[in-house]
Amino acid sequence: MNFKSEICNLKSEIKNRRRGWTLVELIIVCAVMTLLLAIVASVTHTMYRCQRSTRDDVTSRRILTRLSLQLRDDVHAALSAEVGPANDGDEAVRLTLEHSPQQTIQYVFHDDRGEMERVVLEDESQVARDTFPLQQNSSATFEVAGESTSGVIVMTIEQLVVGLPDAGKRTLQIQAALGLHGHHDVALREGGTEE
C-alpha cells in the first residue's frame, strides 16, 4: 500500500505543478527570434539596394537612348560640325552642328555637373535647351571622323557602374553620319520624285 500512496502523491504533485516556460526556454526563444529578425532585415535591405541600383540603371539607359536618338537626328540634319572646348580654359567639350546659316545646335558636356546639354541657337540667341543628366563619374568626348562637312560624328560616353552584377566601366559610342538628310534631299532633287 505504500506504493499506491506514493503514486497518488506523485499524481497530486504533478497536478499541483505550475505549467509554463522556464526562464532559460524563454531566453532561447527570444535569441532565435532576434536572429531571424536580423536575417530578414539584412535580406530586405539588400533587396531594396538592388532595386534602387536597377532603377537608376534603367533611368540612365533611357536617358542615353534619348540622347542618342536626338544626337543622330541633329547630326543627320547638320551641314557641318566642329569640335572644341566649351569656353577658354574650360575642360568641357563642345560639339557645334550648323543646320543653316541662322541655326546651330551645340552639345556641351559639363564634367562638374555630370550632364550633357543641348542648346539650339538661332541668330546667336537661345531658342531651346535640353539637359541629359548622366551618372556621376561620367566622361564624354566628341570626334569628327572624316571631313567636317561629310564625315561621321562619334560621341563616346564612359560611365562607372556600381551596385549591379555587371559593375565596372561601361562605354557607349554613338556614331552618326553628318548631313545624311541633306544628301538624301539632293539625291531626290537630282533623281526625280519621292516615293
Decide if 144 is inside a domain. yes
Decide if 30 is inside a domain. no
pLDDT digits (tens, 9 = 90+) for 165-192: 667 788 889 999 988 775 444 333 334 3
The percent of residues above 90 in pLDDT, for the chain, comes to 42
Decide if 16 is inside a domain. no
**Whole-model pTM?**
0.69
State yes or no: pLDDT of 65 exceeds 90: yes
Decide if 154 is inside a domain. yes
Decide if 163 is inside a domain. yes
Letter for the amino acid at 11?
K
- The contacts of residue 18 (CB under 8 Å, 6+ apart) are none
Which of 97, 101, 139 lies closest to 119 in space, CA to CA? 97
54 or 150: which carries more pLDDT confidence? 54
Signed CA dihedral, 115, 170, 84, 181: sign only: negative
Cell numbers linked to 42? 539584412
State yes or no: pLDDT of 7 exceeds 90: no
Q: CA-to-CA distance for 78 and 97, rounded, in angstroms? A: 6
Number of domains forming the structure of the chain = 1
Rounded (5°) CA angle 47-49-51: 70
**What is the domain extent for residue 123?**
62-191
Decide if 11 is inside a domain. no
- Helix axes of 23-77 and 180-191: crossing angle, nearest 10 degrees: 40
Decide if 49 is inside a domain. no
Decide if 106 is inside a domain. yes
